[in-house]
Amino acid sequence: MKHYLQFSDLTALDYAYLFERAALIKKKFKAYEKHHPLADRTLAMIFEKASTRTRVSFEAGMYQMGGSVVHLTTGDSQLGRAEPIEDSAKVISRMVDLVMIRTFEQTKIERFAQHSRVPVINGLTNEFHPCQILADIFTYIEHRGSIAGKTVAWVGDGNNMANTWLQASEILGFKVHVSTPGGYEVDQSIAGLRSSDSYRVFQDPMQACAGADLVTTDVWTSMGFEAENEARKVAFADWCVDLDMMHAAKPDALFMHCLPAHRGEEVQAEVIDGAQSVVWEEAENRMHVQKALMEYLLLGRL
């Protein structure tokens, strides 16, 4: 049994399969063709943080594959009343086939997985957001072909998205140019990289974007860090992806953002709503890649 708790849980070969499979699943969806490999299977979705994309993509995706979902939040389950995570895992995993969790510390999802009888998927933790990077790289491939050998510029917080980009760069063979304000740097030990060869740190976000194939950013304040909001607004003021940064990148560079976005903070409206932005495809692709992932975790390669 495989879990998907971080990007490094799968290999380059697994990803090659998943990207191919997601393309096929997307094609069938667009052609209104039935695809019911998960008939009679149930996915439990546990949300300890808010979500739009993750909920809709997993829920719609599971129904489209013939399965069903159970939606739980901290507020409406015993999870919010201090039932131990281990007990919750033992109970929930006796009744469903697959579990998706969005929570705070990565250790929480790891503890759940240790006591789960069924595969567990990370729908975002403080440390990682693997399903999002799966969608982002699939989107890159759709537009520009293989990401191997390419350069991704990360502008902003050294957060869950940044950590996951670092893991992906080592597995799939591309470079990440990271620029964060002081005090918000990425920490290689969280990503668990073998070496620092796949990424380079830049103080100046313009330099990180120079010659990049993809420029990407995220909110200045992630969920769970709201108390730092005002301090972050000051610290991140120069880390707004603007047209100058996009001009420093390659002429055919793409812009991505996992969303939700704050125009005028981490990105200028002219960039996210401009011709190089692929944010809507990126959001839609969450559903297609996660359908491939759920199928893979339950049925293996088909």
Catalytic residues: 102, 129, 132, 218, 258, 286
Per DSSP, what are the bridge partners of residue 281? Answer: none
Q: Does 124 bind ligand CP (CB under 6 A)?
A: yes
Minimum CB–partner distance for residue 31 and ligand CP (Å): 26
Residue 236 contacts residue 203 (beta carbons within 8 Å): no
**CA-based nearest residue to 67, from 77, 75, 56, 59:** 59
- With CB cut-offs between 5 and 8 Å by kind, which of ligand CP, ligand NVA, none does residue 64 bind? none
Minimum CB–partner distance for residue 169 and ligand NVA (Å): 18
For ligand NVA, the closer of residues 106 and 159 by Cβ is 159
For ligand NVA, the closer of residues 57 and 93 by Cβ is 57
Q: Which of 110, 259, 276, 281 binds ligand CP (CB under 6 A)?
A: 259
Minimum CB–partner distance for residue 125 and ligand CP (Å): 11
- The whole-angstrom separation of Cα 152 and Cα 136 is 11
Q: Does 51 bind ligand CP (CB under 6 A)?
A: yes
- DSSP helix/strand/coil, 79: helix
In terms of DSSP bridges, do strands 214-217 and 199-201 run parallel, antiparallel, or are they unpaired?
unpaired
62 contacts: CB under 8 Å, gap ≥ 6: 38, 41, 43, 68, 69, 294
The structure tokens listed for 218 are 């995220």
For ligand CP, the closer of residues 5 and 193 by Cβ is 5
- With CB cut-offs between 5 and 8 Å by kind, which of ligand NVA, ligand CP, none does residue 52 bind? ligand CP
For ligand NVA, the closer of residues 122 and 222 by Cβ is 222
Size of the site for ligand CP (CB under 6 A): 8
Q: How far from 218 is each of 96, 160, 184, 254, 297, CA to CA, in Å?
A: 33, 10, 13, 15, 28
Residue 129 annotated as part of some ligand binding site: yes
Judged by the rule CB under 6 A, the positions of this chain that interact with ligand CP are 51-54, 124, 132, 258-259
